[in-house]
Amino acid sequence: MRRLIFALAAAAFAARLLTPSPRPAHAASLPPIAGFRAADADAERSREAQVAATIRPDTLRRNLRVLTETPHVAGTPADRATAEYVLARLKGWGWNAHLESVPVYLNYPAESKLELIEPQSGPLSTREKGAAWDKDAHDAAAFDGFHGYGAAGEVTAQVIYANYGDVDDIQKLSELGLDPHGKILLVRYGKIFRGLKVRNAERAGAAAVIIYSDPADDGYAKADPYPRGPARPEDSIQRGSVQYLSEGPGDPTTPGWPSREGGRRLKPAEARGIPRIPSLPLSWGEARKILTSLEGPQSPAAWQGGLPLTYHLGPGPAKLHMKVGQDYAVRPIWNVIASLRGRELPDQWVICGNHRDAWTYGAVDPNSGTICMLEMARGICDLMKTGWRPRRTLMLCSWDGEEYGLLGSTEFAEEHAADLTANAVAYLNVDVAVAGHDFRVNGAQALADVIVGAMADVPDPSRAGSVFGVARDRAFADGKTEWARRNRERRWRGEPERPFSFTMPSLGSGSDYTAFEDHLGIASADLRFEGLQGTYHSIYDDFEYLDRVVDPGYAYHATMTDLWSRVALRLAEAEVMPLHFSATAVFALDELQGIGERADDASAGAADSLVLKADLAPAKAAATRLRDRAIAVETEVAISLAEGTLAPERAAAVNAALLGTERALLGDGLPGRAWFGNEIYAPGLNTGYAPVPLPRLGQAVLDKSRAAYAGGAAPIEAALDRAAAAFAKLMTK
Amino acid sequence: MRRLIFALAAAAFAARLLTPSPRPAHAASLPPIAGFRAADADAERSREAQVAATIRPDTLRRNLRVLTETPHVAGTPADRATAEYVLARLKGWGWNAHLESVPVYLNYPAESKLELIEPQSGPLSTREKGAAWDKDAHDAAAFDGFHGYGAAGEVTAQVIYANYGDVDDIQKLSELGLDPHGKILLVRYGKIFRGLKVRNAERAGAAAVIIYSDPADDGYAKADPYPRGPARPEDSIQRGSVQYLSEGPGDPTTPGWPSREGGRRLKPAEARGIPRIPSLPLSWGEARKILTSLEGPQSPAAWQGGLPLTYHLGPGPAKLHMKVGQDYAVRPIWNVIASLRGRELPDQWVICGNHRDAWTYGAVDPNSGTICMLEMARGICDLMKTGWRPRRTLMLCSWDGEEYGLLGSTEFAEEHAADLTANAVAYLNVDVAVAGHDFRVNGAQALADVIVGAMADVPDPSRAGSVFGVARDRAFADGKTEWARRNRERRWRGEPERPFSFTMPSLGSGSDYTAFEDHLGIASADLRFEGLQGTYHSIYDDFEYLDRVVDPGYAYHATMTDLWSRVALRLAEAEVMPLHFSATAVFALDELQGIGERADDASAGAADSLVLKADLAPAKAAATRLRDRAIAVETEVAISLAEGTLAPERAAAVNAALLGTERALLGDGLPGRAWFGNEIYAPGLNTGYAPVPLPRLGQAVLDKSRAAYAGGAAPIEAALDRAAAAFAKLMTK
C-alpha cells in the first residue's frame, strides 16, 4: 500500500504543477471536489447552485444604497447605524449574530489647513469640490482630507519632493545631497503603504509630510477620470491611515493584547507605530501648485510623475504653512459577529470577513464587499430552509475600524486568540469585492486548491470562461516569457520542466486577514476583482461611482458572492479539510530558489565582505520533507475519498492534524515586530501592502543585511519541520 | 611553439572577457597598444598627445558659429557654402581634398498645411514660434515642418492614434477592431525610424500620417525644455526623412548603383522605399489639440504618452484637412573628401566620416561632429609638421545628404565600391558628436579592442576617470543584475563564469556607417556622447542650444576630438591592424545563445506547428572555429610584437588577411533587402535605427517566422566559416 501511495504521490505532485483546464459550469462530467467523497460532489455543487440562484442585482444595489447613504468613519453614529443594519439583516435571515463593541484610540480631524506662502501665496484645498450630478459628493458630513493616526502640528517650511517616499527614495535624496531635516516632504501615493512614507520621512528628520495622488499612478495617465471613467479626478483626495502597518496593526495603545473597556492601555506618547510629525493628503490639482514651484536638481528619471512639467527636488522655493489639528479619543467601534453552528464539527470554524467602516461613503471600499457578504448570508439561510446545515461552523464577521489599522479584526483576534487557535479552519477575507474586472486572490498556499476548484466552477462575467480560465489566460499572457525562462533554467539545472500554472501570490497586509494569517497562523485568503479604483478613499467612492462606473448591473458582485460562498461552503462541508500543505512546501521551495537568486543579484560586484551568504540547503530539505509527507497523506485521502473507503477515525485524525499545520508555521516572531509570527508569510517591513514571503530571508535580501541573511534560514527550516512533523505522525498510522 | 601559442590563446581569451581597469592617462607604466611593438607605444602615445594638445574650445566654437549661421539643407546654396568652408580649411592645413558633387533626387517643401476641421476648427502650425533671445530660431530660411522623401497629397479624414506606429502597434489596432483605411494616423516619434512609421501606415491603408513629438519621449517628462534645459519645447517640430531606411539607404532612384550625372535612374514612380501617402511632422503643442478631440476606446496602457489627458484611439471626432506640396528634383549635393597618403601602406585606408547637411542649423546634428573633424584635421596636420606621416592612408569625409537617407555616403560607397573593398581598413563615423555626457559607441566587434584601448587613454570630462572607466562604471550600474543572472545561467549550463565586461553594441542604421559596414563589409564604428537632444531636427538645434545648454566650454567636443583622433591614428599606424575577429566570434556565439532563448520565449505556449525550431549548433561550431583560430593568430602577433620579433612578411600576410575578414561576412544579401549583405550586422527590418544582429535569425524570431528561422542559420555559419578560413591559412604557415 505504501508503494502505491508513493506512486500516486508522484502523480499527485505532477498534478499540483498542472492546473485544471477551464471547466464549463455545466459540463457533463464534473471533476471531484477536494475533501469530498466522489459520491457527495454532486450534492455539494447542487447546494452551491441553490445559493447562487438566490443572488439578485437589485438586493445588492439596494444594500449598497443603504450602506453608502452617509459617510461612516469608524466610531461615528453613522458607522454604528451600518452595524445595526448588518446585524438586523443577519439576524432576520436566521444567523446567530451580535455586536461586539471595542474601545479603540483613534482620531478625527479637527483642522486640516495648508497654504502655499512662497514663491506665490494662496490656500491649498484639503477638500473635494464635488461633482454636479453626484448628490453624495457634496455631503458636509464627510471629513476633510486627513490621516488616520496622523499627528497634530503646525509647520512652516520649504518643500522637498521625495517620489514615493520609500526607503530607497529617502536614501537617494541623501545621495543627491538633499537633507530632509526640518523640511516638508512632498511624496506621492503608491508603491508602499502610506504610513511607511510618514515613518521614513520622520526617521529622516522631516518636519511634516504631504502625500498627494499623482495622475501617473491613478489619474488620467491610467484612465479617464470620474465621472467619465474610473480614474482619480483633479480634486480627489486619498484619505487614509498612517499607522506603521507593517510593524503591527490594531489599536496602537494596546499592542499585542485586546482593547477592553478599562483594560491596560499605553499612553499615546508611549505608543509605537504611529507618527510624531503631521501629515496631510492632497489632490494632484493642489499638489501641482507646489510642484511647479520647486527648483533645485531635476528629480531622478523614475521619480517623474504624470503632471505636465519636469519634476524638481527643491528644497523650495515652494514654502508651505501647514496646520493640522487632531481630535483623539478612545471611542467604541462595532464588529458584527454571526455564526451558523456546524452540524457535526461545531468546533471547527470557517470564517468569512469584510470590514464595514469607510473614509467617506465606502461604496467600493469596503461596501462592495459588504453587499456580497449580505447576499451570501441570505443565500445560505435560504439553503438552510431545506433542512441542511454545514458540517462545520460558518462565521461571518463585519469588521469595524479597518481603515485606521485593521482595528476590529486585530482586537477580535487578540481577544479570542485561544478559541481561534483551537478552532479556526480558515479565514476568507473580502475587502474591496469589486473595483474592476480582473479577479485576484492572495492567500495561504494550503488554500490554493480549494479556491482554484471553486474558481473553475464559477463563470466569469466576461463570458470568456470560468473565473479560473479567465484568470489563468491573463496570467499566461503576462507570464509566459518568464515561465519559458524558468523552464529553461530548470533544464540547465537538470530539474523537470513545469507546465504553466496559475499561481496564487501570498498575503502581504492592508486588510483584515493580517491578524489571522500572520499573528495566529490561520490559513487565510483575500479575494477581489481588481481595477483602477481611482476614487479610493475620496469623497467620490460613493454609490454613483460604483453604480455607474465600476459594476453597472452588479454582475461582478454576483460572481464574487457565488465564488466566496462556494469556497466557504466547501471548507465547511468537506469530509477532510481541503488544506493542501504540499502547496505550502512547493511555494517555500520556489521562494528559497528565488531568494537565493536575488541574494546573488544583490551581491553582484560587491566586495566579498558584503556578499550575502547563507546555507539554504537545510531549509530546502525541510520543505522537501514537508512536501513529500503532505503529498503522501493528500494522495491517500484522495484515493480513499474517491473509493468511499475513508474511515471516520482516519478523517478525524487527518482533520485534527490539518487544523494545526498552519499554526506550526508560527515561530518566535519576526525581528523588530514580534507580533508577526508566521515564518512563511508576511508583509514587507518597508512595503506595508506587498508580501515578502519567508520574511527573515526575503527582508534580509531587500535590506542587504549579511547577518540577517546568514541567520534567517534556521527558523524557517524549523517551521517547515514542525509542519512536516504532523504529517509524519499521520504516516506512521 | 604551437603549444605555447595555445596556452597563451587561452589566456588571451580570458583577457577578452576581462576589460582593462581604468587607466590614468599619465600612469607610470602604460599598457601596450594593440598592433604596435612594445617599443613603439610611447612614440604613438606621444604623437596622440601632440594632436590632443592642439584642441581648442575657441576654434571648436568658431567653426560651429560659421557652420550653423544659416539653415543648410542638402543641396541648398547654404549647404554648398559649408562644403566650401570645410574644403578650404582642410586644404589650408595640408590635406589633399576635393569636392565630389553627386546628383540626387530629393524634395523641398512646397506646402505644409494642416487644419483641424472637426469637432472644432482651426489651423495647426507646422512651424516653430522661435525663442526671444535666440536669434537663429526665427530665420525665414528654415523650411516649415516637412518630411524628406515625403509624398505630396491632400487628405481630409478622421484621425486614429497609433502609438509609435510600429508593426506591433498597427497589429494591435486591428485586434482592437480599428481600421486605418482612409484615416489619418497620428503616431508619435520614437522607438523606430520615422520612415517605417509611414511605411507601416501605408501598408495598413491609411490615407496620411502625422508624426508628433510626445513630451513623454523627449519633452518635459524627460527634462526641462529648451531654453531652460535640453528637452523639446511645446512648439518644436522634428523634421526628418521618411525613406524606408532599413530596406536600403541612398538615392531611391539609383538603388544599388552610383548616382551620376546622366546615369541610369529609375522614374520616381518606380522607386521603392519611399512613401506614397503624405505625412507631416508636428509639435506636441499642436498634436494636443488633436488628441483632446479623440474619443473611441482608451488606448492600451503602453500607448499613453506624457500629455495631461487620457489617450484615446478614435477614429475621430477629430478630423483633419492636410495639404502637402513637395518640390522634387534631381539636385547636386557635395561630399568633401580629403586624404593624407600613407608612408608605407598607401593602399590601406583608414576612413573617418561625418555628415554636414542639416534639417535646419544642425548645431548638434551633425555639426558638433563636423567641428570635431575639423579640429582633428588641424591637429593631425600640426603633427605632420614634425615630418611624421601615418603608415597607412588617412581619409576624412564630410558627407552631404545624410539627412535624406545617407545619400552622400551611400552613393560614394557605391561609386568607389571596388577601391573601398580592396583598400578600406575601417570606417569611423561621428554624426552627433555631443548631445550630452554619456559616451556611447556601436560598432563592428573587431574594432572593440582598439576603441576600448583609446577610451582608456582619454580622460572623461566629468573627471571621474577615463572615458572607458566612466562608461564601464555606468554599464556596470545598469547591467550588474543581468550580468549576475547570466553567470548563474552559465554555472547551471556548466560554462565558465565571466567577469563583468564593457560590451560595445553593434551597429543598426541611421548614419553614414551603413553602406560601409552593411553593404561593403568594412569594419565600422559610430562614436558619440549621448544626451536627450530634445531639439533634434527642429529650428532650435542651433548655436545657442549647443553653446549654452549642451556643451558650454566644449569639453566634450574636445574629448571626442581626442578620442576619434587616437582611434584613427592607431589604426593608421599599427604594424598589424588591431582588428580582433575573436571578438566577432564571441559576439556571434553570445547572439546565437540569446537568439535561441528568444525563440524559446516567442514559442512559449504556442502550438507545436508554430514553435520556432532551428539547429544552431553548426553556426555555433563555426563561430567557435573562428574564435579559436583568431585567438591563435592574435596571440602569436601579440607575442611577437611584444618581443619585437615580428617579421615584415608575416605582418604583411596577417594584414592582408585581416583586410579581407570583415568582407568575408558578406553573403548573398538579406531577404527582401539584398543591398544589406552583412550576415552578422544589420538594422532591424522594422526598427530602422536599432541593430538586429545575425539578422536572418534575429529578424525571424521577431517576425515569428518558422521558415526564416529554420533556414537562417546556414548562411551565418557559412559567413563565419569564410572568416575562419582566412585564419586557417595563416595558421598553416
pLDDT for B65: 97
Predicted confidence band at A19 (pLDDT cuts at 50, 70, 90)? very low
> Which chain A residues contact residue B480 at CB under 8 A?
601, 604-605
Q: Give the three cell numbers for residue B366.
A: 551633425
Rg, chain B, Cα only: 25
Predicted confidence band at A31 (pLDDT cuts at 50, 70, 90)? confident
**What are the C-alpha distances in Å from B673 to residues A477, B295, B507?**
33, 39, 17
Q: Give the three cell numbers for residue B124.
A: 495647426
The DSSP output letter for B452 is H
Query: What's the rounded Cα separation, in Å, for the pair A336 and A100?
Result: 6
Tens digits of residue pLDDT in B344-364 = 999 999 999 999 999 999 999
Q: Give the three cell numbers for residue B401.
A: 545628404
Q: Tell me whether residues B220 and A310 touch, CB distance under 8 A.
A: yes
Is-contact A694 A595, C-beta < 8 A?
yes
Average pLDDT over residues A225-251: 95
Query: What's the rounded Cα separation, in Å, for the pair B10 and A532?
Result: 57
Tens digits of residue pLDDT in B47-93 = 999 999 999 999 999 999 999 999 999 999 999 999 999 999 999 99
Average pLDDT over residues B642-652: 95
> Which chain B residues contact residue A221 at CB under 8 A?
304, 310
pLDDT for B135: 80
Average pLDDT over residues B238-255: 95
Which superfamily does A65-103+331-573 belong to? Zn peptidases (3.40.630.10)
Query: What's the rounded Cα separation, in Å, for the pair B127 and B108?
Result: 15
Q: Which residue of A lies nearest to B226 if distances are taken between CA atoms?
A: A310
* Strand duo A319-340 + A392-399: pairing: antiparallel
Q: Tell me whether residues A307 and B308 touch, CB distance under 8 A.
A: yes
> Which chain A residues contact residue B596 at CB under 8 A?
none
The answer, for A607 touching chain B at a CB cutoff of 8 Å, is no
Query: Which residues, in sequence order, are bridge partners of residue B398?
Result: B336, B354
The answer, for B668 touching chain A at a CB cutoff of 8 Å, is no
* Sequential DSSP letters for A525-573: EEEEEE---TTTTSTT-SHHIIIIII-TT-HHHHHHHHHHHHHHHHHHH
Tens digits of residue pLDDT in A417-444 = 999 999 999 999 999 999 999 999 999 9
Average pLDDT over residues A625-646: 96
Mutate to test the interface with A, among B226, B482, B488, B490 (most CBs of A within 10 A): B488
The DSSP output letter for B545 is I
Helix (H, G, I), strand (E, B) or coil at B464: coil
The answer, for B300 touching chain A at a CB cutoff of 8 Å, is no
b/e per residue A521-546 (b: at least 16 CB within 10 A): bbbbbbbbbebbbbbbbbbbbbbbbb
Is-contact B91 B101, C-beta < 8 A?
no
Q: Domain A105-328, what architecture? A: 3-Layer(bba) Sandwich (3.50)
Cα angle, residue B368 at apex, residues B365 and B369 outer, rounded to 5°? 90
pLDDT for B396: 98
Average pLDDT over residues B289-297: 97
Query: What's the rounded Cα separation, in Å, for the pair A706 and A150?
Result: 35
Element (H, E) at B112: strand B96-118
Query: What's the rounded Cα separation, in Å, for the pair A682 and B699?
Result: 45
Predicted confidence band at A732 (pLDDT cuts at 50, 70, 90)? low
Domain B32-104+340-464+501-573 has CATH 3.40.630.10: yes
Domain ranges of chain B: 32-104+340-464+501-573, 106-330, 581-732
Residues 6+ apart with CB under 8 A from B347: B393, B422, B423
Residue B246 has pLDDT above 80, yes or no: yes
Sign of the dihedral defined by the CA atoms of residues A553, A559, A564, A570, in that order? positive
Q: Tell me whether residues B484 and A600 touch, CB distance under 8 A.
A: yes
CB nearest to B476's CB, from A215, A306, A605:
A605
Tens digits of residue pLDDT in A356-398 = 999 999 999 999 999 999 999 999 999 999 999 999 999 999 9
pLDDT for A17: 44
Helix (H, G, I), strand (E, B) or coil at B283: coil
Mutate to test the interface with B, among A488, A495, A597 (most CBs of B within 10 A): A488
Predicted confidence band at A139 (pLDDT cuts at 50, 70, 90)? confident
Is-contact B290 B123, C-beta < 8 A?
no
* Strand duo B96-118 + B319-340: pairing: antiparallel
Residue owning grid cell 474619443 = B295
What's the mean per-residue pLDDT of chain B?
Answer: 94
Q: Give the three cell numbers for residue B663.
A: 568582407
Predicted confidence band at B2 (pLDDT cuts at 50, 70, 90)? very low
pLDDT for A297: 97
Average pLDDT over residues B539-555: 97
Predicted confidence band at B134 (pLDDT cuts at 50, 70, 90)? confident
Q: Give the three cell numbers for residue A597.
A: 537568486
Query: What's the rounded Cα separation, in Å, for the pair B473 and A731?
Result: 57
The answer, for A298 touching chain B at a CB cutoff of 8 Å, is yes
B187: amino acid identity, one letter: V
**CATH code of the domain occupying B106-330:** 3.50.30.30
Selected residues 194-253 of chain B with any CB under 8 Å from a CB in chain A = 215, 220-225, 229, 231
Q: Give the three cell numbers for residue B622.
A: 563555426
The DSSP output letter for A38 is G
Residue A603's CB is within 10 A of a number of other CB atoms, namely 20
Q: Give the three cell numbers for residue B23.
A: 587607466
Cα angle, residue B100 at apex, residues B98 and B102 outer, rounded to 5°? 170
Q: Tell me whether residues A604 and B304 touch, CB distance under 8 A.
A: no
What are the backbone angles phi and psi of residue A530, rounded to the nearest 5°? -80, 155
Predicted confidence band at B459 (pLDDT cuts at 50, 70, 90)? very high
Q: Tell me whether residues B601 and A220 touch, CB distance under 8 A.
A: no
CB nearest to A223's CB, from B225, B298, B476:
B298
Q: Give the three cell numbers for residue B270.
A: 518606380
pLDDT for B9: 46
Q: Tell me whether residues A310 and B476 touch, CB distance under 8 A.
A: no
Nearest to A460 by CA among A64, A19, A28, A24: A24
Predicted confidence band at B482 (pLDDT cuts at 50, 70, 90)? very high
**% residues pLDDT > 70 (chain A):** 96
Nearest to B148 by CA among B512, B407, B403: B403
Query: What's the rounded Cα separation, in Å, for the pair A139 and A119?
Result: 34
Residue A209 has pLDDT above 70, yes or no: yes
Count contacts between A and B (CB, < 8 Å).
82
**% residues pLDDT > 90 (chain B):** 92
Is-contact A293 A119, C-beta < 8 A?
yes
Residue A176's CB is within 10 A of a number of other CB atoms, namely 12
Average pLDDT over residues A554-579: 98
Residue A23 has pLDDT above 60, yes or no: no
* Strand duo A153-161 + A319-340: pairing: antiparallel
The answer, for A77 touching chain B at a CB cutoff of 8 Å, is no
Q: Do domains A65-103+331-573 and A581-732 have the same CATH topology?
A: no
B540: amino acid identity, one letter: Y
The answer, for A175 touching chain B at a CB cutoff of 8 Å, is no
Tens digits of residue pLDDT in A43-83 = 999 999 999 999 999 999 999 999 999 999 999 999 999 99
pLDDT for A136: 82
Predicted confidence band at B29 (pLDDT cuts at 50, 70, 90)? low
Tens digits of residue pLDDT in B253-265 = 999 999 999 999 9
For B581-732, the fitting CATH number among 3.90.350, 1.20.930, 3.30.9, 3.40.50 is: 1.20.930
Residue owning grid cell 546573488 = A600
Query: What's the rounded Cα separation, in Å, for the pair A196 and A673?
Result: 14
Residues 6+ apart with CB under 8 A from A322: A113, A114, A115, A153, A154, A155, A156, A184, A208, A210, A278, A280
Selected residues 577-606 of chain A with any CB under 8 Å from a CB in chain B = 597, 600-601, 603-605
Is-contact A699 A685, C-beta < 8 A?
yes
The Cα of B301 is separated from the nearest Cα of chain A by a number of Å equal to 7
Tens digits of residue pLDDT in A292-342 = 999 999 999 999 999 999 999 999 999 999 999 999 999 999 999 999 999
Average pLDDT over residues B564-574: 98
Q: Give the three cell numbers for residue B231.
A: 528637452
Q: Find the range with the poorest average confidence among A127-136, A208-217, A691-700.
A: A127-136
Q: How many residues would you count in chain B?
A: 733
Q: Give the three cell numbers for residue B453.
A: 584601448
The answer, for B495 touching chain A at a CB cutoff of 8 Å, is no
Helix (H, G, I), strand (E, B) or coil at A6: helix
> Which chain A residues contact residue B306 at CB under 8 A?
306, 308
Tens digits of residue pLDDT in B617-626 = 999 999 999 9
B382: amino acid identity, one letter: D
Query: What's the rounded Cα separation, in Å, for the pair A436 and A447?
Result: 24
The Cα of A482 is separated from the nearest Cα of chain B by a number of Å equal to 8
